[in-house]
């Protein structure tokens, strides 16, 4: 019997009648929570579960809930929550939505990221309009109802380009079980589980299994405690996903099953793996797809052979590489967290695999490249420059603020003079223009109004529509059109010769149009502009293997098997140097 016949036969035995979609089937919801510690891997699990469900032919959507009071992620320091991911519609959201888009090949909206700030603002706006007819506005029912309604509305939005309403919505609840900020959401989903009925609502809980080297057994007490906590909140897990360094023992699964009231086959071992793309394969090997089909009454589910082959290929890309390529990422947030550049790292990986090279990514703090005799730590200074000089290519990422910008410009100068492939992104483009003005045109006072608002020579200026009094949501955001002005462009070739492209933006400064002619006359070519013809989008140098900078953020649209053209160009040029 074929897969489609098996699924059709199994579905005939079920009669779901609530939360119906336009196709007559019930919307299925999967809630993913986590305990013991933050950063336990809920986002990668959510992406992995979505990937295996999509492999069976289902239409999938995702929602990320962040219980903080911020309206969105736009004003966060990368030290707080990692990078700010930008969507087509300009939504500034949590980096996990980037994982969802890359894994599931979907395009999400700002409403796919729910925050406490958004929920409370929506409720208080309704109260001000009089929508509650004079009633006392409370967490229950008003906040909890708003959460549930938001989820049900967003779950219906097509996201995979097919115009088909999703069949399964995967909801990741950020934070850790027990956090006071998350309590309204746990209560909302406790109520929600009854509203949509058990067969349409499934709960995953991610926990930590300790494996101390001083003993030979797995320690399950933290998991027992977090499951007890989530059960008290009325959300007893159906699946218990155990994170650990090594695979957990069968005896550990039995113990967890007994103490946590979860069937042993629903206890999933998810140890540290070589790649995030190994996660869907690990889930398939433990029959998660079959178990979800039973639990959510989706009928017989099986990943197609084509989908399995694709997942295997993604997981094995690194093993197909035939050499190494070294890229120096010269940034501002490299010392403490790599999440600050999560999408850039992924885009570099995608491009390196396309070039059949293993990525050796080295992180350089921009300020450590700066020579100031009073403040310079010469040991760090020498070590940082040794890293830069050892690299086959240099990447200058986006960012805000003055710290480290002089060092970044020194790295740009090194790449320009020594013919080292270089890609600048957003701030990287602006600094490339300033460096060129200072060191080629001898305009030593050239600067950006962001770095010195009273600078004499304003190579980079504030955009006219930038709201000086408010930071959140005031930038040029989202997918915008870029138009090449010439066919004589290195980067245009990597875009397949297209004259018009669309990429996502996040900036509030631009190259000053008054200095375009003098810069171009000296050899710095601006080869593309926005649809108005006023904003410069791409700069290049002719007499250089690959000196390219872009005003947009190409990392946001990079996919595992469709690497971003600017990143692919950098890696291809760097590979020729390796």
CA distance 255 to 498: 59
Helix (H, G, I), strand (E, B) or coil at 469: coil
**Neighbour count for residue 568 (Cβ, 10 Å):** 22
Active site residues: 426, 553, 555
Quick one: which of 556, 553, 559 has its CA closest to 399?
A: 553
- C-alpha span between 323 and 390 (Å, rounded): 16
Q: Is 42 helix (H, G, I), strand (E, B) or coil?
A: helix
DSSP track, 334-400: TTT-SGGGHHHHHHHHHHHHHTT-EEEEEEEEGGGG---TTT--HHHHHHHHHHHHH-SEEEE----
CA-to-CA distance for 93 and 113, rounded, in angstroms?
A: 6
CA neighbor of 353 nearest in space, from 260, 275, 448, 456: 275
Instruction: Please choose, from the candidates 339, 327, 408, 398, the residue with its C-alpha nearest in 3D space to the C-alpha of residue 367.
Output: 408
Q: Are 247 and 222 in contact (CB under 8 A)?
A: no
* Peptide bond between residue 61 and the one before it cis (omega within 30 degrees of 0): no
Tokens 């030593």 sit at which residue? Answer: 444
Contact 155, 201 (CB under 8 A): no
Range 431-437 contact pairs with CB under 8 angstroms and sequence separation of 24 or more: 431/396, 431/405, 432/396, 432/524, 432/539, 432/547, 432/549, 433/459, 433/460, 433/511, 433/515, 433/519, 433/524, 433/539, 433/549, 434/409, 434/459, 434/460, 435/409, 436/519, 436/522, 436/524, 437/515, 437/519
Q: Please, what's the b/e burial string for 47-82 (b: 16 or more CB within 10 A of its CB; e: otherwise)?
A: bbbbbbbbbbebbbbbbbbbbbebbbbbebebeebb
Asked if residues 419 and 399 have their Cβ atoms less than 8 Å apart, the reply is no
What's the start-to-end Cα distance of the chain, in Å? 52
- Cα(557)–Cα(251) distance, integer angstroms: 43
Please, which residues have CB within 8 angstroms of residue 554's CB and are 6 or more apart in sequence?
Answer: 347, 425, 503, 564, 565, 566, 567
């Amino acid at each position: 019997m074929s897969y489609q016949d098996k699924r059709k036969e199994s579905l005939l035995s079920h009669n779901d009648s609530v939360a119906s979609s336009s196709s007559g089937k019930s919307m299925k919801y999967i809630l993913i929570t986590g305990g013991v510690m933050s950063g336990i891997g809920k986002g990668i699990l959510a992406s992995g579960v979505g990937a295996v469900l999509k492999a069976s032919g289902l239409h999938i959507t995702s929602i990320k809930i962040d219980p903080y009071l911020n309206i969105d992620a736009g004003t966060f320091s990368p030290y707080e929550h990692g990078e700010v991911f930008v969507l087509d519609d300009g939504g500034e959201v949590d980096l996990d939505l980037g994982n969802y888009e890359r894994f599931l090949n979907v395009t999400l909206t700002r409403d796919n990221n729910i925050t406490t700030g958004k929920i409370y603002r929506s409720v208080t706006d309704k109260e001000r309009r009089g929508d509650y007819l004079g009633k006392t506005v409370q967490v229950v029912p008003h906040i909890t109802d708003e959460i549930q309604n938001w989820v049900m509305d967003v779950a219906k939005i097509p996201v995979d380009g097919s115009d088909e309403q999703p069949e399964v919505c995967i909801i990741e609840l950020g934070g850790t079980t027990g956090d006071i900020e998350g309590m309204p959401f746990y209560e909302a989903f406790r109520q929600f589980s009854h509203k949509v009925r058990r067969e349409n609502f499934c709960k995953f809980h991610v926990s930590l299994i300790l494996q101390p080297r001083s003993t030979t057994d797995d320690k399950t007490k933290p998991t027992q405690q977090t499951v007890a906590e989530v059960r008290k909140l009325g959300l007893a897990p159906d699946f218990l996903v155990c994170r650990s360094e090594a695979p957990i023992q069968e005896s550990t699964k039995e113990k967890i099953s007994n103490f946590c009231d979860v069937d042993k086959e629903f206890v999933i071992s998810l140890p540290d793996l070589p790649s995030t793309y190994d996660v869907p394969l690990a889930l398939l090997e433990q029959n998660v797809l079959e178990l979800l089909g039973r639990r959510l009454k989706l009928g017989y589910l099986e990943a197609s052979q084509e989908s399995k082959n694709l997942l295997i290929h993604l997981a094995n890309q690194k093993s197909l590489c035939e050499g190494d390529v070294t890229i120096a990422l010269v940034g501002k947030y490299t010392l403490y967290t790599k999440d600050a550049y999560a999408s850039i790292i992924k885009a570099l990986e995608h491009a390196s695999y396309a070039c059949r090279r293993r990525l050796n990514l080295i992180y350089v703090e921009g300020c450590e490249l700066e020579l100031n005799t009073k403040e310079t730590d010469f040991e760090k200074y020498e070590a940082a420059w040794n890293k830069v000089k050892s690299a086959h290519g240099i990447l200058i990422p986006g960012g805000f603020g003055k710290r480290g910008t002089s060092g970044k410009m020194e790295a740009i100068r090194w790449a320009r003079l020594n013919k080292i492939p270089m890609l600048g992104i957003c701030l990287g483009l602006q600094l490339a223009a300033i460096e060129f003005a200072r060191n080629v045109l001898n305009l030593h006072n050239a600067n950006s109004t962001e770095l010195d608002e009273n600078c004499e020579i304003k190579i980079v200026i504030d955009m006219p529509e930038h709201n000086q009094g408010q930071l959140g949501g005031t930038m040029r955001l989202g997918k915008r059109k870029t138009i090449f002005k010439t066919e004589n462009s290195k980067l245009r070739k990597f875009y397949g010769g297209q004259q018009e492209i669309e990429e996502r933006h996040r900036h509030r400064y631009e190259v000053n149009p008054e200095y375009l002619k003098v810069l171009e006359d000296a050899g710095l070519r601006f080869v593309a502009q926005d649809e108005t013809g006023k904003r410069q989008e791409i700069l290049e140098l002719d007499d250089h293997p690959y000196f390219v900078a872009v005003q947009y953020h190409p990392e946001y649209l990079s996919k595992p098997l469709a690497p971003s053209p600017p990143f692919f160009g950098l890696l291809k040029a760097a590979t020729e140097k390796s």
